[in-house]
Every structure is written in structure tokens, then in C-alpha cells.
Structure 1
């Protein structure tokens, strides 16, 4: 069955769809010996697809890993400053993995990694409205007014956020804990939303992604999702 080349490349675990599109635009992809065009489709069972002269590899069985990301760790493959990355924690996984979205350097918690580029793209796309829940510690008090602001949407420099769901937690001295659930994935969104309502974040941990949670997984550790969990993820 014919599919767009960028989707086939992503499904093979070589790159994200966006990166695959840049490869096609740069003339690095050929179909049956001819330089491919952006938007072109091919059938991997009948067509010879090559990237930089090498055949498109057969797709590895899809896997998805749930990692408890520690703070002080980047969601990137390489860092020019030599700081640790999430991929350092999964070096013994024998396939190339992609992160589903990002957690910033100081944010902890649940991060999904997969060799299925199409799945990573699907789960990270805001159109699918996949819930992500964070445990937040802020300086200040979460008043009813601030809860209403967060639940109504907050105006940020890149536009209004979608409404969030907030569940207040314990007050600890000058700090307050609470849970917030969003389905967008903007850069540092929870931190910026809290800052916008006068609640600077002092600790941030993602505790759920859709139906998945951390369980008793220690920071820096990971587990492979079961086939049943993978099927549920693909249906979101």
C-alpha cells in the first residue's frame, strides 16, 4: 500500500516526519533510482526507497518506553555543553528512539520514548488532545480566583491556552502543591501558565500521560510498555 515517504521514513524509526521532509527536500531520498519529491508516495513492498544511497531498513517491531525522567537532564539527543540527556538513560535499548514531546531540563517525571516516529508525532500533536497531568509546587497560595484563571485558560505571549483542570493539594509553608492537567504541549507551558497567575513554580513533575502513570518507577529508570498498553496508545 502506498504511503507518503515521510511517514514511511518515520515508521522505520529513522527520523521524525518533519526531519524526513527536510531529507526529501534536500534530495537525499530516492524512489526506484529517482530523486523523490516532497509529498510523493511509495509502496515499500514494491518500490526501492533509498536514503543517502542506502535502502530504507525494514521496520523494527514498535516499542514504547516509559521513563521517569530525573531533573537536570535534557530531552535531546546531544548537548553541546555535555549535559546528560534522557537518551543516556536508555543506551542499552538496541533501537533508535524518539521522545514524545519534551520535558525541560528541570522538569521531572513521565516521558515516553518510542522507535515509532508516526506514533510519536500522533501523541504529541495537539489535535488529539492527549491529557498530561503534572504535580506542581509553587511559591504562593492557589486561591479560588487563580484556579478559575487556570481552568478558563491563560493568555501567554504565544496566545490563549486551552482550559486546564486543577486539583488543589497541600499547603507547605510558603509553598502550595496542586495537580494540573493540560492537553497542549507548548514550550514550558505549565511553568508559564503558573507564572502568569502569580505562582512561580519551584518544582514540576509529570505524573500521568493519558492512562499511563509512573507507578513505583524510580527516577532515571524505565520500563517497556506492554502490547496492550501500546494498542491503547495508538487508539488515542
Structure 2
């Protein structure tokens, strides 16, 4: 009876046995007190006064477990479990095997207790594949020794196919394939080899792969793949990708769900406009023209600017005391004994006059530069005279 009730999805076999001991299960109105009751079907069986429906076809789900969640229905310590993260519209699911708190990756969940047992039994030979990141030195030869099994602290572990994938600094990635599901088997074996595991991911369980399933997502396996697996549990790979089960997003308080607006109709494509030479020239002028923007009243402030006037030399303001309507300024007085300033054409500036006598008209005329005489047309310019030679030695001459 416990097996049939577990297959019907009432509870696990242990929970069903506890329910029978509490007197919650009855057959044809008679309360049962032992789970060792052999039945062919669930006709007439009730749980808490409710009839139990016939078991439906077994369903199998793939769940990408994130690290930090417990694989249990409830935790006395109040820690989070996988059932806190699963969607509410799923049927009652039981996990196939368990993953540690810090282990992540593929976790199988099913509605059928018999399928769960078939997947878990080591005698079935269903392979589990893991990828482990560990710290420490290791060689491929050491890993190949695990193919014969190993005994650690009195516990015998079966054959393990381990391969060294790659090294990243002081860390190594190791792939391990085993057919047993003993508690913390992968971690204990790697610690036995002197490695410290920092990350552990389950990538495959039998023919079911983790694939591209995102962290926290759950997908259902196709029914024909479940049937094929039950016929041949040791087959590898194959099958279609699981159908994802979307988790509804919780609605925030105080916010109403607004219906989505209808989609706008897609406009029909317009025929291409014919481009002529005139329209092309007009478009070029518009493209190279400076953009104009009209001021918007109420938004753009009104700024009054004064037109700039080009300053010319005759527009300069006269200095104080020299303008029109003012008296002429008297020349600056010269102190006694001080020489007046005169303009020197040679220096191009004013200089103090030299003391002494003034130049006579004859001397002033001599100081003036001589005027150049114009050339006479047709008359050749005289050739420059040759310098005289001075005899300074019998064998040398110098110009």
C-alpha cells in the first residue's frame, strides 16, 4: 500500500508509513494499522477521508539547483530549501538523490516513487557526471588509479572514471563519472588525493543533461523520453530538450495589473519617390543650409543685444583737454638749464638738443644728402676702376 500511495503522489513511502501509523489511511472505511498491506489497486482507499485517485503517468523534471539551498522538504533550522524556489503550480515532486548545500547543477525530480528508486539504485548502473574545481597538485596517473575504486575510512567506493580537464593557475578542473550516489563521495575522494574542492557541479544524470538550463530554472522531460529511459536505464544522451516551466512573478502591493496595449498595425510600405535633378539640388541646399530655430515664447528668454560697431581711427574719442569746445593746452614749460627735445631722423625719435652753437646754412647744406642724378638715355654706366696693386715683395703682390 505504501508503494501505491507514493506512486499516486500522496507522499513519500516513509511519510505514508507514518500516516498509516497515525490512523489516517483507511480501506473501505476500515482504518489500517500496518503498511504491510498488499493491494492490487487503490480502489476504496482514503486518506483523511478523501478518496485517492489512480496514479497518473510518471513525470520527470530537470532542475538547475543553485548553491546554498537544501534538498529537503523542510528544515528545522529555518534554512531555505529547493521547494521555496519552485513554482507553485507544479505537482508534488520528490528529488532523485540529493545534492549538498554547496553543490550545484542538475537535480532530477519526479512524481513517481518507483521511477525515483530506479534512478537511485546503484544496481541500475545509471551514471552521474560531475565537474569539480579543486586546489592542489594532481596528475592524470593519480586520477586513473580511481578506476579500480578506493577505500576511505572503512567505506568502499566503486569505480570512478576521472580525467584532468585543465589547469587555471593553482586550480584544476576534474571531470568524474561514477555509478554510485554515496554521501559526499566526490568531495571525499578528492580530499583523499590531497585536493581541496572549491566548486562542484553535476552536469549529467543518466541520459539527462544539464545543457543550457539556467540557474534556478526547471523543465519537464518529454513523456516518450521517460518511457525510453525506463526501458533502457543505461543509455547515454539523446532525447529532446526539456520544456521549461515558467515561474510567475509576484505582483507588488498597491499596484494593479494594467492590460497590455493593443499592437499598432504595421504600416504598408510606400512606393519609392522619383528623384529628379531639381529635387536633388533642393535637397542638397537644404542639407547644407544652417539650421534655424524659432524662439518659443515662455521657454526661451528674450535677450536684447546691441549691434557691434566697427571702430575706425577717425571715430576715436579725443583726449581730455584736446577736444572741441575746450581751451588749447599750453606747451610744456622747460626748466632752466634743460635742453629742449628735437626729432632725430637718424634715430627716428626725439632726443635732447646738443648744447653749443647752431650750424651755419653752409654746414646744414653740406649735411643734407646729395640728390641722385638721373641717367641719360643711351649712355653706358662707367665701369668701376680697378684697385691699385701695391708691391710688397719681389714675388708677391697685394691688392
What is the TM-score of this pair, normalised by structure 1? 0.89
1:128 matched residue in structure 2:
124
Does the CA-based 8 Å contact 1:13-1:115 persist in structure 2? yes
Greater Cα shift, 149-158 or 188-197 = 149-158
Q: Deviations over 1:5-59 (max 9, x none)?
A: 11101111122223333434554432223325332211326x4112343322333
Deviation at 1:163, TM superposition (A): 0.6
Shift of 1:229: 1.9
What SS does structure 1 have at the residue aligned with 2:201? strand
Corresponding residue for 1:190? 186
What CA distance in whole angstroms lies between the structure 2 residues aligned with 1:87 and 1:79? 11
Partner of 1:39: 36
Q: CA deviation at 1:114?
A: 1.1
Report whether the alignment pairs 1:96 with 2:129: no
1:16 aligns with 2:12: yes
Unpaired runs of 5+ residues, structure 2, are 234-399
RMSD over equivalenced CA pairs, Å = 2.0
Whether the aligned pair in 1 keeps the contact of 2:64 and 2:105 (CA below 8 Å) is yes
Name the CA shift for 1:7/1:202 in 2 (closer, same or farther; >3 Å).
Answer: same
Alignment of 1:17-96 (within 5 A): 17-34=13-30, 35-44=32-41, 47-96=43-92
Q: Is the 8 A contact 1:69 1:110 kept in 2?
A: yes
Q: Normalized per residue, which structure has more strand?
A: 1
1:161 CA drift (Å): 0.5
Structure 2 CA distance for aligned equivalents of residues 173 and 203 of structure 1:
15
CA distance in 1, matches of 2:153, 2:124: 23
Distance 2:19 2:113 in 1: 15
- TM-superposed CA distance for 1:141, in Å, is 2.7
* Shift in Å, 1:71: 0.9
> Based on CA coordinates, which of the two structures has the bigger radius of gyration?
2
Hey, what does 1:201 align to over in structure 2? 197
Task: Provide Cα deviations, 1:153-188, integer angstroms capped at 9, x if missing partner.
Answer: 121346210111112200111111011011111111
Q: Following the alignment from structure 1 to structure 2, what is the Cα–Cα distance between the partners of residues 232 and 193?
A: 33
Shift of 1:206: 0.1
Deviation digits for residues 45-88 of structure 1 (CA, Å, limit 9, x no counterpart): 6x411234332233344321101111111111122333322222
Q: Output the CA distance in 2 between the equivalents of 1:233 and 1:93.
A: 26
- Residue 156 (str. 1) matches residue 144 (str. 2): no
The yes-or-no answer on 1:108 pairing with 2:104 is yes
Aligned 8 A contact 1:17 1:121 in 2: no
Counterparts of 2:141 and 2:96 in 1: how far apart (Å)?
A: 33
Higher RCO (CA < 8 A, seq sep 6+): 1
Question: Secondary structure of the residue that 2:77 maps to in structure 1?
Answer: coil
TM-score (norm: length of structure 2): 0.54
Give the corresponding residue for 2:223.
227
Q: What stretches of structure 1 of length at least 5 have no aligned partner?
A: none
> Contact 1:135–1:207 at 8 Å: present in 2 too?
yes
